[in-house]
Structure 1
Amino acid sequence: MNTPLPIPSRAHTVSVVSNADLHCHSTLSDGTLTPEALAQRAVANGVALWALTDHDEVGGQQRALDAALALGLPYLTGVEISVSFAGRVVHIVGLGFDHHNTALIEGLHATRGGREQRARDMAAGLAQVGIHGTFEGALTFVGNPELISRTHFARFLVEAGHCHDVNEVFRRYLTEGKPGYVEHRWARLGDAVRWIREAGGAAVIAHPARYAFTPTEEYALITEFMAHGGQGIEVVTGSHSAAEAVKYAQTALEFDLFASRGSDFHSPEESRVDLGRLDGLSGRLKPIWQVLEHRVHWPACV
């Protein structure tokens, strides 16, 4: 049986939130900090509304929620779901859902399936160019073995001295056409949006500039996403330039989408933008947290 989320008594205060960070990752997926450490960092950096959005995993949600409320930080549940669209991997962030929802949990479990075989195939490709032991090495960086990813391989290759940083690893070994790249078939766009919506949440297209879609492909993504019930798009995020933030602010206005904001923080050593240290959303935009005000978990002291 799914557990209903409580209705907060102070939901109206969400309208004054400016420093919301609704995209980051913990050791439950490919981040380097625990949910508890992230909550502490969010508070230290002045975050006023926070969501942990681990890849294809909600196992850290209760820990993040408990830690946030203990620190007086309002919290929205979150997840980042990998989907396949137009031959690329696209990420859909879910916010404000019931993290006990059975269909969502089962869908995410199915999406994670196949990551181990993909990782072993990646290791085999790297072995062919003389880099051995990468599967076992990547596992030493994994908090959740079901979510072994390219990032874990990258961290191992840096530690082993093959590259200077994770960005160099991706360029040389882990992007399409390189020795360690292996495609994985992720969830369908419609399934991901449906899981989020049926669990009571809102779906958001994550960091749209990263996909390098043509205008036609991007239009197809947005319109199909909306047809399935998707409601938001990330405008300000750690991987967007100032010009890209302006572009996707206009996209949000053009398609009447809610705007989201999130650092996509993974690690103090690796991330371009620290948790909560983002530019603000334009006042012309409708923040996604306004449509989710009844889904915010508020600390007792609020």
Structure 2
Amino acid sequence: MTSYLNADLHCHSTVSDGTLSPHALAVRARQQGVDLWALTDHDETGGLPQAQATAQSQGMAFLSGVEISVSFAHETIHIVGLGFDIHDSTLTQGLAHTRGGRDQRAQDMAQQLAQVGIAGAYEGALRYVGNPALVSRTHFARFLVDSGVCHDTSEVFRRYLTEGKPGFVPHRWAGLGEAVRWITQAGGVAVIAHPARYRLTPNEEFALFSEFKAHGGQAVEVVTGSHAVHEYATYADMAREFGLAASRGSDFHAPDESSTDLGTLPPLPADLVPVWDLLRHRVQAPV
């Protein structure tokens, strides 16, 4: 495997906040020329068996994946896990605990929206949910767009669902060390997802990378649909500085929402170690 492999190791299905089933997502990935694929639903691995079966039947290599929400420096950080044992009990129990409380949070969000004149948001969001245990801000955003409150999901987040706006309710996620240990003890590799997205000071970002590596984290997303092009170079440098492998993923959620389609990103910088080189023994080959 090389850094020029068309690998897409970050995307979401209806099992969390995507709009395509794991099967449909795998088919789309293959149509887009993806060679190595991972489904990384939020805090949930329930879609992985279907994703793996379809990927392998479509001629794609496959890695198990998940995206875990973590609290760090008053910010929600996402840690992607790749290549782990999906039956590991510690990981499974940890993810179940992380999912807990999402429904109450959703009801609290709806109550805040009702106070600014937007009624029925909880019931509205549920219409977009594939997995009732994982109702999220994205589902509320889709409801607010389709009901005409906002023009697009970006406007929803600007006006309603971010800190300081009506509809924002924080949630206490897993700790950074917990999430990394769940992944690594299950035989996988932990990856910092789309680091440019977080509102961290330079000192906080340095602390994130330092603590992540100290806990056993091994990689960072460098080329991702959630980064601007100039940020690829920034996080390539961070990978070099901290001795981390590099990952690549579209962060695809929906055909009509995502700016980057599956498999369409440029290659990783040639001097970086691609994360799949650390996971050769965990890749599920096509059948």
Calculate the TM-score normalised by the size of structure 2: 0.99
1:85 lines up with 2:66 in the alignment: no
- Does structure 2 conserve the Cα–Cα contact (< 8 Å) formed by 1:258 and 1:286? yes
Query: Per the alignment, do residues 16 and 224 of structure 1 end up closer, same or farther by CA in structure 2, a change over 3 Å counting?
Result: closer
State the match for 1:150 in structure 2. Answer: 137
- Does structure 2 conserve the Cα–Cα contact (< 8 Å) formed by 1:17 and 1:48? no
Equivalent residue runs for 1:235-254 within 5 Å? 235-254=222-241
Q: Helix, strand or coil: the match of 1:75?
A: strand
Equivalent residue runs for 1:1-302 within 5 Å? 14-15=1-2, 18-300=5-287
What residue identity is the alignment partner of 2:137? R
How many pairs are equivalent?
287
Query: Per the alignment, do residues 16 and 227 of structure 1 end up closer, same or farther by CA in structure 2, a change over 3 Å counting?
Result: closer
Moved over 2 A (4+): 14-17
- Does structure 1 conserve the Cα–Cα contact (< 8 Å) formed by 2:60 and 2:285? yes
- Does structure 1 conserve the Cα–Cα contact (< 8 Å) formed by 2:26 and 2:55? yes
The superposition leaves residues 45-75 of structure 1 with CA deviations (integer Å, 9 ceiling, x where unpaired) of: 0001000000000000101000101111100
What residue identity is the alignment partner of 2:14? T
- Does structure 2 conserve the Cα–Cα contact (< 8 Å) formed by 1:17 and 1:49? no
- Does structure 2 conserve the Cα–Cα contact (< 8 Å) formed by 1:27 and 1:143? yes
State the match for 1:4 in structure 2. Answer: none
Query: Per the alignment, do residues 135 and 299 of structure 1 end up closer, same or farther by CA in structure 2, a change over 3 Å counting?
Result: same
- Does structure 2 conserve the Cα–Cα contact (< 8 Å) formed by 1:137 and 1:156? yes
- Does structure 1 conserve the Cα–Cα contact (< 8 Å) formed by 2:3 and 2:274? no
Deviation at 1:15, TM superposition (A): 3.7
The superposition leaves residues 211-260 of structure 1 with CA deviations (integer Å, 9 ceiling, x where unpaired) of: 02111000100010001100000000011111100000011011110000
Query: Per the alignment, do residues 17 and 294 of structure 1 end up closer, same or farther by CA in structure 2, a change over 3 Å counting?
Result: farther
Q: Helix, strand or coil: the match of 1:27?
A: coil
Question: Structure 1 stretches of 5 or more lacking a match?
Answer: 1-13
Q: Helix, strand or coil: the match of 2:79?
A: strand
Q: Helix, strand or coil: the match of 1:174?
A: coil
What is the distance in 2 between the residues matched to 1:16 and 1:193?
Answer: 24
Deviation at 1:16, TM superposition (A): 6.8
* Identical residues among aligned pairs (%): 65
Question: Structure 2 stretches of 5 or more lacking a match?
Answer: none
Query: Per the alignment, do residues 183 and 16 of structure 1 end up closer, same or farther by CA in structure 2, a change over 3 Å counting?
Result: closer
Q: Helix, strand or coil: the match of 1:292?
A: helix
What residue identity is the alignment partner of 1:230? G
Q: Helix, strand or coil: the match of 1:106?
A: helix
Calculate the TM-score normalised by the size of structure 1: 0.94
What is the distance in 2 between the residues matched to 1:17 and 1:75?
Answer: 16
The superposition leaves residues 109-157 of structure 1 with CA deviations (integer Å, 9 ceiling, x where unpaired) of: 0000000000000000000000000000000000001100000000001
Deviation at 1:17, TM superposition (A): 5.2
